[in-house]
Structure 1
Amino acid sequence: MWLKGDLHLHSRHSKDSTNNPEAKIIHFAEKAGFDYLAITDHDNHVHGDVAHNTWSDPEFHSDKVLLLYGAEWTTDRGHGNVFSAKPYDHQRLYDVRDARDRQIMAVKKALGVHLSANHPANSDHFGFSFDLVDSIEVWNSTVWPKNRSAVLVWDDMLKSGRMITGRGGSDSHHGAPDTPAQTTPRSIEATANYVGTPTTWVFAAARTKQAVVDALTDGRVSVSANPDDPRVEFYADVDGDGRMDMMMGDDAKPSGKPVTFEIKLVGGGIRGAVYKVKVVKNGEDFRSLDTDPKTQMASFTDTPAPDARTYYRLEVEGPQTPYPEVPNSMALSGNMVGLSNPIYFNYDPAFRGSGTSVSGAK
């Protein structure tokens, strides 16, 4: 099942957050129909002790939304988000924030958490080895143009042989204003960037916290500018039997024969609109397609090299779907409405996320 959520949010437990108690975030998400959330407060604002701040807050509760356990690992070498289906000892990760990558990897593995590189092209970009992470934040907040550089970093990691999931996160710090009369810079920001700008969709085996984390690790992920924009789904027919047998995150050994790829825009968007899909192959623009206005589908055929690594991913542009709960988000997202994770050929599963060897890490 497809589940929608936000993987980067700050509550009042982050000192740079305003008007954003956990109850406000969760109530908004429940009302808007989200399935999961990760409230990721800055660990340095509570000296690593998120367990007795964010997670122990009586407001950290929902009968409708799956609440992941996490925090923003905030260090002198950049930021990363931690995601877990169950409580973990975040203090241990906080205590090694200035350590060498090998030590950090050992703690991460011992904790059994998912570590994600945050906003890799910002001034506070992730400055550790990407061998440490399971995913990378390629779409941070509503403002799409500034994320182009993050996507280039992602493509470089993919071309290197790493199977790292691309994800989104609103990085919202300020609660949606209670009344339109609020016109401070922070309240204006809140009208453009809040829960779900962007929305990260995961194809999960069940509606559980662990299934959300597993899907994120496995690359079964699509990102849309908001929850009402179309979700892009990406499939491939490898054996030519007319049935799609691969989806985002999957890897196969190519036979040297043509592979048919299928693109679907699902669950949102403007009725009858034509969306432009850019196919990216190995980090380069490969093909541009228009979706059929009735079926919201498109397809193409290509032959992955039998003796080399190849990946394909998608970017979708078109008219923004209104998101009434966050009215100004459309203006900042521009024409970018969604992107997919890759379908892989000839990749090594040992290089999925932080399964990568770190023998050469600093």
Structure 2
Amino acid sequence: MIPPIPETLPPLASHIDGVWLKGDWHMHSRHSKDSSNNPQAKIIGFAEKMGFDYLAITDHDVHVQGAVAQHTWADPEFRSDTVLLFYGAELTACRGHINILSAEPYDHQRVFDHRDDRDWNILKLKQELAIHMSANHPSTKNHYGYSFDLADSVEIWNTSVWPKNVPGVRIWDDMLKSGRMLGARGGSDSHHGVPDTPEQITPLSIEATGNYVGTPTTWVFARSRSKQALLEALVAGRASVSSNPYNPRVELWADHDGDGVMDMMMGDNVKPTGRPVTFEVRLVGGGISGACYKVRVIKNRDDFGSFITDADTRSVQFIDTPATGERNYYRVEIEGPQAPYPEVPNSMAQSQNMVALSNPLYFNYDPSF
């Protein structure tokens, strides 16, 4: 079914009452069989040291036959006074991988036991358990093979190796083009801990120097500093992704009614007026001082144009007129010099020149689709 153009849309939510929070939605600890040198205390301690706000340790469930509550969650190291820790796991099944995320403990055993059910049965279970399902790395060998109607969000940036994500971003664009409003996130998918001593240096630990907590970093604009607010904002697409926490956060805004006020931010959905809309891309915090960044604008899966940010304001504007009788979405990708991540030094080369990307702004989308 092609979603209709809605006659009316809900009013825009506040852009003032909220807080930006940074973190990593996809991590593995020693409770994943294919992980090494990565106890939860090490992961969480690293996140605390780096000033992260939230973290999702999503160990594979297949190694423990679904019993993550008795392993990852029951580990006495699964605690923090400063980082919001999500209850979750990576559902590992024949049809691919899903990150299950929840603000509170839930019955993951039921999810694991029904992992090969038909999608409509899994959807009923998801709704019953009130959990968030996020499509993991949709274009890798362990791709997400379930219906995207199950997904509350999608991982479009997995690990620091940017080129491997290009096909997954195309899949996301396909979903957006089809009429879905699907929030995007990143996830380091880190399995191995950064070595602490020379004795810990192994091929796997060297791998960790290129990919660890925050490669990439997902920035979320939430109504409050709480786990439930973070999940709500992730579903709504009020987020952007940076290759590491030292790079700038990209924000995409628009003045949809022409009154000179930027009244739309990422995730917002409005009825177009038929008049030109001024869009603004802002780079906030971090990055390389004085650098100019390339802004690639994607409209409805196609290249709309490329622009260069001002070195002083670290922003750029562009104008377009969304048609009143059509759906349109706009998102941006930021290319330029990588900010050093001393704690994970080899991540810079693996991210190449991809610095950040945004969630879309929507026009005429049906939010019920």
TM bucket, shorter chain:
over 0.9
Match of 1:299 in 2: 317
What is the one-letter code of the residue matched to 1:203? F
Distance in 2 (CA, whole Å) between partners of 1:183 and 1:34 is 26
Q: Does 1:150 align with 2:168?
A: yes
User: Equivalences for 1:1-362 in 2 at 5 Å?
Assistant: 1-179=19-197, 182-351=200-369
Runs of 4+ in structure 1 over 6 Å off = none
Residues matched between the structures, number: 351
Secondary structure of residue in 1 paired with 2:368: helix
> Measured at CA, do residues 181 and 296 of structure 1 come closer, stay the same or move farther in structure 2, by a change above 3 Å?
farther
Per the TM alignment, residue 181 of structure 1 is displaced from its structure 2 partner at its CA by 6.2
Per the TM alignment, residue 50 of structure 1 is displaced from its structure 2 partner at its CA by 1.0
Query: Structure 2, unaligned stretches of length 5 or more?
Result: 1-18
Per the TM alignment, residue 179 of structure 1 is displaced from its structure 2 partner at its CA by 2.8
Secondary structure of residue in 2 paired with 1:320: coil
Per the TM alignment, residue 185 of structure 1 is displaced from its structure 2 partner at its CA by 1.6
Distance in 2 (CA, whole Å) between partners of 1:180 and 1:302 is 55
Distance in 1 (CA, whole Å) between partners of 2:137 and 2:289 is 33
Distance in 1 (CA, whole Å) between partners of 2:73 and 2:202 is 30
When normalised by structure 1's length, the TM-score is: 0.96
Secondary structure of residue in 1 paired with 2:22: strand
Distance in 2 (CA, whole Å) between partners of 1:200 and 1:206 is 16
Provide Cα deviations, 1:182-230, integer angstroms capped at 9, x if missing partner.
5422011100100000001100111111111111111001000000001
What is the one-letter code of the residue matched to 1:102? W
Per the TM alignment, residue 46 of structure 1 is displaced from its structure 2 partner at its CA by 1.4
Secondary structure of residue in 2 paired with 1:132: coil
Secondary structure of residue in 2 paired with 1:214: helix
Secondary structure of residue in 1 paired with 2:209: helix
Distance in 2 (CA, whole Å) between partners of 1:80 and 1:100 is 15
Provide Cα deviations, 1:63-117, integer angstroms capped at 9, x if missing partner.
0100011100100000010111111111111111011001000000111111011
User: CA RMSD, aligned part only?
Assistant: 0.8
Distance in 2 (CA, whole Å) between partners of 1:23 and 1:181 is 19
Secondary structure of residue in 2 paired with 1:147: helix
Per the TM alignment, residue 17 of structure 1 is displaced from its structure 2 partner at its CA by 0.4
What is the one-letter code of the residue matched to 2:356? G
Distance in 2 (CA, whole Å) between partners of 1:169 and 1:32 is 16
Per the TM alignment, residue 245 of structure 1 is displaced from its structure 2 partner at its CA by 0.8
Secondary structure of residue in 2 paired with 1:347: coil
Match of 1:358 in 2: none
Query: Structure 1, unaligned stretches of length 5 or more?
Result: 352-362
Secondary structure of residue in 2 paired with 1:4: strand
Distance in 1 (CA, whole Å) between partners of 2:69 and 2:261 is 46
Distance in 2 (CA, whole Å) between partners of 1:326 and 1:22 is 18
Distance in 1 (CA, whole Å) between partners of 2:321 and 2:185 is 27
What is the one-letter code of the residue matched to 1:80? I
Distance in 2 (CA, whole Å) between partners of 1:311 and 1:151 is 14
Provide Cα deviations, 1:2-37, integer angstroms capped at 9, x if missing partner.
100000000011000000000000000000110000
